[in-house]
Amino acid sequence: MQQPDDPTAAGGPDAEFTRFVAARWRALTRTAYLLTGDFHEAEDLVQTTLARVYPAWRRVRPETAEHYVRRALVNTNRSRYRRRRVIHLLLPTLPDASAVEHGGGVGGGGDRDVLMRALADLPERQRAVVVLRYWEDLPAEEVAATLGCSVGTVKSQASRALAKLRGHPALADLSHPADLPLPSGLGDPR
What count of other Cβ atoms lies within 10 Å of the Cβ of residue 73? Answer: 26
Average pLDDT for 5-23: 76
Dihedral pair phi/psi, residue 92, rounded to 5°: -70, -25
CA–CA dist 83, 77 (Å, integer) = 10
The DSSP 8-state label assigned to residue 135 in this structure reads I
More confident residue, 60 or 182: 60
Q: pLDDT grade, residue 94 (50/70/90)?
A: low
Cα–chain-centroid distance for residue 57? 21
List of residues 6+ apart from 90 with CB closer than 8 A: none
Query: Does residue 135 contact residue 28 with C-beta atoms inside 8 Å?
Result: no
Listed in sequence order, the residues at least 6 apart from 104 whose beta carbon sits closer than 8 Å to its beta carbon are 98
Please give the residue that has the higher pLDDT: either 121 or 178.
121
Question: Which pTM does this prediction carry?
Answer: 0.64
Q: How many CA atoms lie within 13 A of 146 on its CB side?
A: 29
Q: What is the share, in percent, of the chain residues with pLDDT greater than 70?
A: 69
So what's the pLDDT on residue 119? 86
Provide the pLDDT for residue 10: 55
What span, in angstroms and rounded, lies between the C-alpha atoms of 177 and 171?
7
Q: What pLDDT score was predicted for residue 180? A: 47
Q: State yes or no: pLDDT of 102 exceeds 90.
A: no
Residue 155 has pLDDT above 60, yes or no: yes
CA 58 to chain centre: 25
Q: What is the mean pLDDT of residues 45-54?
A: 95
Looking at residue 173, its pLDDT comes to: 67
pLDDT confidence band for 100 (50 / 70 / 90)? very low
Name the residue among 176, 175, 142, 171 with its Cα closest to residue 74: 142
* Residue 6 near residue 41 (C-beta atoms within 8 A): no
Strands (E) across 8-166 are located at none
Spacing of C-alpha 44 from chain mean position: 12
Q: Residue 183: which of 169, 163, 162, 168 has the closest Cα?
A: 162
pLDDT value for 78: 87
Rounded mean pLDDT of the chain? 78
